[in-house]
Amino acid sequence: MGLKVSQLISGYRQTPVLHEVSFEMKVGQTVALLGLNGAGKSTLLKTILGLLPAQSGSVSINGVSIQDNHQAYAQQLAYIPETPILYEELTLREHLDMVALGYGIPQEVVMERALPLLKIFRLENQLNWFPTHFSKGMTQKVMIICALVTDAKLLIIDEPFLGLDTLAIEHFKELLVERAQAGTMVLFTTHLMSMAEEMSSRYLLLEEGRLVADGNLETLQEILDKPGRNLRDLYLSLAQESQSYE
């Protein structure tokens, strides 16, 4: 059980960006998806989310694909994008009500789950606020809360710490650890290698739409033939090699 991506080819129109990407995640794993700009990270996330149709290959969560049962597949996912997206005409409370409706969770259950999160992120007094009154950091916190009140089996997070203050980052990391320990899979992207090392011990490395490495730090060192290098050095060397080919 878990996430299974098999021989995935995906992209825009008829142009593939991903080339036969395959990997699996087990229940409770936290995995960092790494790669330079244009490596295919966003395409991979959008395909897993069902926002982009796969050109070939397959994606399933706990044995269910989007083709098998779109609703059952979607309800296993929660997404926190790099750029927060809220509905301007809905209050924070109404966003939570919408999450309850979308995931088939009673409103009172969602609110019960949301209250401690609202307190952690200092938003308990803003339930009737509209997004126009939120700062970028507050908007990001709303997206986090909306994701964490679901029963999602897979959390997909794109650059999770942008816009958050230091205290919020620490709280968010603790919440992600708790969710992983409870069995949720966490797949996240970041350009901050220190954060990737702190949050995960398994890395997926994409380069030009291909999965070139999958494993812990030692595995990446071996595959890239750079023994003893830390994750930041490996990432920088990949960037430098990429520039030398341009």
Identify the CATH number of the domain in which residue 40 sits. Answer: 3.40.50.300
Q: Taking the CB of residue 9, how many other CB atoms lie within 10 A of it?
A: 16
Q: Stretch 189-194: mean pLDDT, rounded?
A: 90
What letter does residue 104 receive in the DSSP assignment?
T
Position 29 pLDDT exceeds 50: yes
Q: Which residues are 6's β-sheet partners?
A: 58
Which residue's entry shows tokens 């008829």?
14
The whole-angstrom separation of Cα 138 and Cα 136 is 5
Position 231 pLDDT exceeds 70: yes
Q: Stretch 178-192: mean pLDDT, rounded?
A: 95
The verdict on 1 and 63 lying in the same domain is yes
* Reported pTM: 0.93
> Looking at residue 105, what is its pLDDT?
97
Ramachandran region of residue 148, left (φ > 0), alpha (ψ -120 to 50) or beta?
Answer: alpha
The verdict on 47 and 157 lying in the same domain is yes
Q: Stretch 149-177: mean pLDDT, rounded?
A: 93
Digit-coded pLDDT (tens) for 87-145: 999 999 999 999 999 999 999 999 999 999 999 999 999 999 999 999 999 999 999 99
> Looking at residue 14, what is its pLDDT?
79
Nearest one of 4, 136, 132 to 58, comparing CA atoms: 4
The verdict on 50 and 118 lying in the same domain is no
Number of domains in the chain: 2
The verdict on 2 and 94 lying in the same domain is no
Inside any domain, residue 30: yes
The C-alpha angle with vertex 162 and arms to 119 and 246, in degrees rounded to 5, equals: 165
> Looking at residue 244, what is its pLDDT?
47
The verdict on 72 and 86 lying in the same domain is no
Position 245 pLDDT exceeds 50: no
The whole-angstrom separation of Cα 52 and Cα 59 is 12
Q: Stretch 5-24: mean pLDDT, rounded?
A: 94
* Residue type at position 120: I
Position 246 pLDDT exceeds 70: no
Tokens of 97: 């009500």
Average pLDDT over the chain, rounded to an integer: 93
The verdict on 133 and 71 lying in the same domain is no
> Looking at residue 51, what is its pLDDT?
93
Inside any domain, residue 213: yes
Give the three-class secondary structure for 30.
strand
The verdict on 69 and 109 lying in the same domain is no
Q: Where in the sequence is the domain holding 103, given as residue range(s)?
A: 81-151
Position 242 pLDDT exceeds 90: no
Between the alpha carbon of residue 101 and those of residues 61, 79, 83, 96, 150, the distances in Å are 21, 16, 23, 9, 11
Inside any domain, residue 139: yes
